[in-house]
A = this chain, B = another copy of it.
Amino acid sequence: MTQRLTYAMIGGGIGAFIGEVHRRAISLDDRARLVAGALSSTPEKSKLSAEQLGLDPDRSYGSYHELFERESKRDDRVDFVSIVTPNDTHYPIAKMALEYGFHVVLDKPATHTSEQALELTDLAERQGLVCCVTYNYTGYPMVRQARAMIESGELGNVRKVYAEYHQGWLANDLEASGQKQAAWRVDPKRAGLGGALGDIGTHAENLIAFVTGLEIRSLQAELNSFVPGRALDDDASVMMRFANGAHGVLTASQICIGEGNGLALRIHGDKGSVWWRQESPDELRVAMLDENPVTYTRGGPGLHEDASISARIPQGHPEGYLEAFGNIYRGAIDAIIAKRDGADPSRMAQLIPSIEDGERGVRFVERCVESAKKNAQIDWA
């Protein structure tokens, strides 16, 4: 019988964007049920949100402290918690969750500092708990296909990587209008060191690491704040050297009018290349030396297992963002069950981004900001 877990959500109340995304992503596969929550920063909003989501009022808590304390005493305590609060609160909440013995799924970025993330890494390790970070784009089947092709050596040694994440929605001072999503992203207290760099550049960094497995050795970053009055970057460009001799260029910008979620990856090995664009996620263009380019598609022929198991419906019927996000949760749920049962994790479980990935993402932001300030190349370690 398929196992259904239960979970609690911290954050994600009425009007929150990413919380609803997490819930839909989980619902899609119907393998975990939301049964508890500390959904908003105020008790009133929390209660209202809980009602809308059909939670038992008993399990709608006023704060995460209360949630952990009371849930941990229940026989039917939730199996895991999903943390979708603003960035600045990730660390204390995740820490407490782990301390109380709950598996954690953490929205990205993991924490404000890489030290905090390292601490969570150690804590999860000691507690024997799953602590993963929803770098959701790694859930796309064709991203996993690209990864598998590189891992298997089909593209040869990777030489050059282009990763970009371009958006246009912060091209003017949307934050002045009080738009909620814009407001916290441009506020260093809530967003952390990085603006575009942290918000979307880390997705690009994560995708490079996930797909290529390359390790950054040094980097040079240039950051801009084009919209007057912004304390954080709204545009970032980074050149990177990897341990294997490969070179990378990563750009992340939120002032590119006309771009929606222009996350794209191009990887060139000495035997072949792949191209992937988030806005057409079901396709992977592949070119081998001296051959015509081939278009692989989700559900199509010739895929690695990692891509095949990550699809739900046949070729030609599009899957999208929620399905990819759902794959992170499928893996997380598998991982949690495996931990609980002392079993080997499934392949889906092995593919999910860990808190170590989260730590690397935060470090990436720190290194880029340092490089940009010094206007100099910076070593990674």
Contacts and interface: CB of A to CB of B under 8 A. Distances in A.
Q: What does DSSP make chain A's interface, helix, strand, loop or mixed?
A: loop
Interface stretch (A35-43, A208-216, A296-304): A296-304
A345 to B, nearest CB: 21
Interface string A1-34: 1101000000000000100010110011110000
A56 to B, nearest CB: 13
A143 to B, nearest CB: 13
Interface residues of A, number: 87
A273 to B, nearest CB: 4
Interface stretch (A96-104, A256-264, A358-366): A256-264
A346 interface: no
A172 to B, nearest CB: 7
A261 B322 contact: no
B237 A222 contact: no
A377 interface: yes
A224 interface: yes
A29 B30 CA distance: 11
A293 interface: yes
Interface in A140-190: 159-160, 162, 167-168, 171-172
Given A24-B29, A287-B168, A318 B317 contact: no
Contacts of A294: 292-295
A160 B255 contact: yes
Given A29-B24, A239-B239, A322-B312, A292 B295 contact: yes
B255 A272 contact: no
A315 interface: yes
A292 B268 CA distance: 20
9 closest A-B pairs by beta carbon, nearest first, are: A260-B316, A258-B287, A261-B316, A318-B320, A317-B321, A320-B320, A260-B315, A258-B273, A257-B273
